[in-house]
Homo-oligomer: A and B are copies of this chain.
């Protein structure tokens, strides 16, 4: 039950402390909204978009505006507590990222499933590219689009 994405209460305390330190060191205010959003984000064990986070928080009776959600999610990205993904749908997907173990995604095109994997060869490719192109790679995005069921492999 304790997979790599779950966050126990203990472990959330670490996240909160990390966030507090980031806010303090960047002279940003420690508003209750920011902590509430952080907590909600870390209660979600799957990818989510802003709208579903908004709904989720509304249902939990929190008063929060979409504007603040967008602002705070960006802040959380900057401090490394949230990672954003563009899987090709209408809106961006997010996931919590504390103690983030580098992983990439397989997005099923015949279901809503998203698998995660980690392959060390990515790092090797990155190193090759840095040498070849003389650049400094800061991040990457790798998504494989796959069919779970071969019988869905129909040409339209």
The answer to whether A106 has its CB under 8 Å from any CB of chain B is yes
State in angstroms the CA–CA spacing of A145 and B132 once bound together.
Answer: 15
The answer to whether A61 has its CB under 8 Å from any CB of chain B is no
- Mostly, the A contact residues are mixed
Once the chains bind, are A136 and B146 in contact (CB under 8 Å)? Answer: yes
Of the 9-residue stretches A7-15, A46-54, A122-130, which lies at the interface with chain B?
A: A122-130
Once the chains bind, are B146 and A137 in contact (CB under 8 Å)? Answer: yes
**Contacts A106-B133, A146-B133: A128 and B138 contacting too (C-beta < 8 A)?**
no
Q: Count A-side interface residues using an 8 Å CB cutoff.
A: 35
Once the chains bind, are B140 and A126 in contact (CB under 8 Å)? Answer: no
Shortest Cβ distance from A147 into B: residue:
B136
Shortest Cβ distance from A117 into B: residue:
B129
Which residues of chain A from 97 to 130 have a CB within 8 Å of any chain B CB? 106, 108-109, 115, 117, 119, 121-122, 124-126, 128-130
Write out the residue numbers on chain B whose beta carbons fall within 8 Å of the beta carbon of A135: 106, 108, 115, 146-148
The answer to whether A153 has its CB under 8 Å from any CB of chain B is yes
State in angstroms the CA–CA spacing of A125 and B125 once bound together.
Answer: 11
Q: Which residues of A contact B (CB under 8 A)?
A: 86, 88, 106, 108-109, 115, 117, 119, 121-122, 124-126, 128-130, 132-148, 150, 153
By Cβ-Cβ distance, the 7 closest A-B pairs, closest first, are A135-B146, A137-B146, A136-B147, A140-B144, A142-B142, A121-B121, A139-B145
